[in-house]
Amino acid sequence: MAGRLIELPPPRGPLSEELFAALEGPPGPSLGLPAVASPDPLGDEDLQLALYVAYELHYSGIAGVDEGWEWEPSLLAFRSKLERPFEEAVAELVPAAEGSELESVGAALQAIVAEDPGPPLSRYMETQGTLEQMLEQVVHRSAYQLKEADPHSWAIPRLTPAPKAALLEVQFDEYGGGSAERMHSALFATTMEGLGLDPSYGRYLDRWPAITLATVNLVTLFGLHRRRRGALVGHLAGFEMTSSIPNRRYGNALRRLGFGPEVTHFYDEHVEADAVHENIAAWDLAGGLAAVEPEVAADILFGARALLQVEARWAEHLLGAWEAGETSLRSPLVAAVA
């Protein structure tokens, strides 16, 4: 197996055009500062794609792109001009934490996920989603699931022993407990294969719309900035706490569509694992971090709320497209189902 390598997709506007043109040359000051004026940063195809590719330099090789771009000052300056409106747009979606919530971050997280603002996408898939819709859902999710756990690992060096131990307990399972085959990203690749999809990392980048890229850019933003370590931990806690039941439903959807355990394994594994992870993440990790660093407690709740808000918009996008009889991807999927 070769290392991670993605291809530059076609640009979606002036920001991605400028960035991709520079990336095709040697690292240097060739990349100027962009003018970014976006009325809707989360739904902005050009902005989200440019930011995604700028971030991807930290995760993956890019065909034809010099690896020296990763820390090239002009790239970092360009990226930060994209990050600012995105970070501000996310902040607008998230109400400030209340003082009483900060007394018990674990309890506050439970209350936050109990009021998940998202539409019931997993319930829809379980009861009536078509095969085509399930394939689309999996293609969207592959943006994150093929690097599942990686963005949260950036928290490891930034945490003190108690929350770090809790994070590692979760991450050890996410990374397969020492087995490459049981790594959750590998289980997801197996699901994709079983559905006749291509599990290569980044294969569907051109098909992911802005809101799908935003779900991944959100956690990368939190992961790459130490100042957002609270939000990164809150994002993971929110993710783990909203995983078990939806994954049962996605597994049920696939069984209803006639698929067997090799395809549903990823989902079945998460029903079990995340019932455990949600408690570790809420109480030992998030609560543990808030106990040591109370100054980031509000940001922990911010991270969980930001996750739910962005995921809600993503789910609305899928259901809205399907209701209109359209594909939820940027171009329809032509996949031969095995």
101 binds Fe ion (CB under 5 A): no
CB 134 within 8 A of CB 257: yes
> Quick one: 147 or 184, whose CB is closer to Fe ion?
184
Q: How far is the CB of 266 from Fe ion (least distance, A)?
A: 8
Query: Out of 140, 277, 305, 313, which residue is the one contacting Fe ion (CB under 5 A)?
Result: 277
284 binds Fe ion (CB under 5 A): no
Give the integer Cα–Cα distance in Å for 227 and 299.
9
Q: How far is the CB of 95 from Fe ion (least distance, A)?
A: 26
Per-residue DSSP letter, 280: I
* E strands, 54-194, in order: 61-62
Q: How far is the CB of 148 from Fe ion (least distance, A)?
A: 5
User: Following DSSP, what letter does each residue of 15-78 receive, concatenated?
Assistant: HHHHHHHHHTS-SSTTS-------S-GGG-HHHHHHHHHHHHTTT-EETT--GGGGG-HHHHHH
State the burial class of residue 278 (Cβ atoms within 10 Å of its Cβ: 0-12, 13-18, 19+): buried
Q: Which amino acid is at 259?
A: F
> Quick one: 248 or 277, whose CB is closer to Fe ion?
277
Binding residues for Fe ion, rule CB under 5 A, total 5
Residues in CB range of 305: below 8 A, 6 or more apart? 93, 94, 95, 112, 234, 238
Q: What angle do CA 222, 223, 228 make, to 5 degrees?
A: 45
Range in contact with Fe ion (rule: CB under 5 A) among 2-10, 257-265, 269-277, 313-321: 269-277
147 binds Fe ion (CB under 5 A): no
Query: Out of 274, 278, 299, 311, which residue is the one contacting Fe ion (CB under 5 A)?
Result: 274
> Quick one: 9 or 151, whose CB is closer to Fe ion?
151
β-bridge mates for residue 23, sequence order: none
- Residue of this chain nearest to Fe ion (CB atom): 184
Using CB under 5 A as the binding rule, the residues of this chain from 206 to 265 that contact Fe ion are 240
150 binds Fe ion (CB under 5 A): no
Using CB under 5 A as the binding rule, the residues of this chain from 163 to 202 that contact Fe ion are 174, 184
Instruction: Give the interface with Fe ion as residue ranges (CB under 5 A).
Output: 174, 184, 240, 274, 277
